Amino acid sequence: MSELPVADVLAAEPDEETTLPPSKGDSDLGGRTLEEVDPGDALVHVRGLKKHFPLRGGFLSRIQGHVKAVDGVTFWVGKGETLGLVGESGSGKSTTGRAILRLIEPTEGTVVFAGQDVTAMDAEDLQALRRQAQIIFQDPFASLNPRMTVGDAIREVLKVHGLARGEGADARVRELLRLVGLRPEYASRYPHEFSGGQRQRIGIARALSVEPEFIVCDEPVSALDVSVQAQVVNLLEELQQRLGLAFLFIAHDLSVVEHVSDRVAVMYLGRIVETADAEQLTRSPKHPYTRALLSAVPVPEPGRKRERIVLPGDVPSPIDPPSGCPFHPRCPHPLKDQDCARTVPPLAEKAPGQFAACIKEPAYVAPTGS
């Protein structure tokens, strides 16, 4: 064996698969996938949404690759419902929220809002969409134009959508400020005169000014102090009940999401790895990533400690995501094997209404005839 054949040399190169145990044949690719579910009359239905940002570099700044910020996500939000979208920084949550509203152009996939295809909308339709779907941004300090008074910023919305002018607009501004718990006199103040929580309330008032049906809350409380977070979250819930709003609530704080959401979707590296009812997801998570996330939520009980699952390594780069299951290099699942690096796991039903992208979890098969 002094001369190795070329093929053997190539095969001897360190391969990700070789570091994993060989296939055990216990993978389960079955189960209904999320794409196959008919959500009925969902207000927002996102199917296979992708957003790839081109990476330019080198001579003549040619496209050298893509950041796969969002890599095929499917979900829906019903009328008056809150879907929580959680994930680490860089998992593509915010990009998803913005792509739904076409604040950035999605690369692929469809977004249907109230029966209309958002991805096919022209400028005029988009303008109409902005009356029905709004967004609240994460950073209340950066998301308000520093050179416009609060009143002007809201009046501008009313004017561009032809909702109110003159006296009527002033009255509406006062009403909106009162609605979010601010004093109507604040209309003539500039953003820098407010605290973070107050600014976020202004952001909410602005979003509400068009009387939307759907609001993307893009980490609305992440930049706020914990005491203020509760106020803003409660305000959002109260407004939801009063105005029948649907929310896509984006956050990296699972405890907040758990609290506000009806359903939760967990994102990892631009994909949804698990989605279920909020309660079910927290009670019995199916995906190892969700389990790890949940183990990091502090328990509000002195003395008691949850067993913390610490994931090894960092989130891989979305430029060159791992093969197969994007989570496999960090996955603590006891059954992990070479299949995980080969197969892209479908987001399949693992329990009634609970979908997880893990081939090592047994699929749920609905009883026939029911």
- Positions touching another protein (CB under 8 A) are 61, 98, 101, 103, 126-127, 129-131, 134-135, 137-139, 142-147, 149, 156-157, 160-161, 190, 192, 203, 206, 210
Measured from the CB of residue 115, what is the shortest distance to another protein in angstroms? 20
Of the pair 34, 223, the CB lying nearest another protein is at 223
Of the pair 12, 142, the CB lying nearest another protein is at 142
Measured from the CB of residue 239, what is the shortest distance to another protein in angstroms? 18
Measured from the CB of residue 206, what is the shortest distance to another protein in angstroms? 7
Helix/strand/coil for 150:
helix
**Residues forming beta bridges with residue 83, ordered by sequence position:** 248, 263
Of the pair 148, 363, the CB lying nearest another protein is at 148
Tokens 């096919």 belong to residue: 120
Q: At CB < 8 A and 24+ separation, what contacts does 320-326 make? A: 320/65, 321/68, 321/71, 321/269, 321/270, 322/16, 323/16, 325/357, 325/358, 325/359, 326/268, 326/269, 326/270, 326/271
Of the pair 126, 230, the CB lying nearest another protein is at 126
Of the pair 134, 198, the CB lying nearest another protein is at 134
**Do 21 and 77 contact (CB within 8 A), yes or no?**
no
Measured from the CB of residue 262, what is the shortest distance to another protein in angstroms? 24
Of the pair 87, 203, the CB lying nearest another protein is at 203
Of the pair 146, 303, the CB lying nearest another protein is at 146
Closest CA to 161 of 201, 126, 136: 126
Measured from the CB of residue 113, what is the shortest distance to another protein in angstroms? 14
Of the pair 108, 139, the CB lying nearest another protein is at 139
Measured from the CB of residue 138, what is the shortest distance to another protein in angstroms? 8
Tokens 């509400």 belong to residue: 208
DSSP H helical ranges for the chain:
6-12, 93-100, 123-132, 150-160, 166-179, 196-208, 226-243, 254-260, 278-283, 288-295, 338-342
Measured from the CB of residue 135, what is the shortest distance to another protein in angstroms? 5
Rounded-to-integer distance, Cα 17 and Cα 40, Å: 41
Q: Residue 229, Cα to own-chain centre: how many angstroms? A: 19
Measured from the CB of residue 276, what is the shortest distance to another protein in angstroms? 30
Measured from the CB of residue 142, what is the shortest distance to another protein in angstroms? 4
| b/e map 131-156, b = 16+ CB within 10 Å | bebbbbbbebeebbeeeebbbebbbe
What size, in residues, is the chain?
370
CA distances (Å), origin 258, targets 11, 116, 340, 343? 47, 30, 29, 30
Of the pair 138, 240, the CB lying nearest another protein is at 138
H or E stretch covering 246: strand 246-251
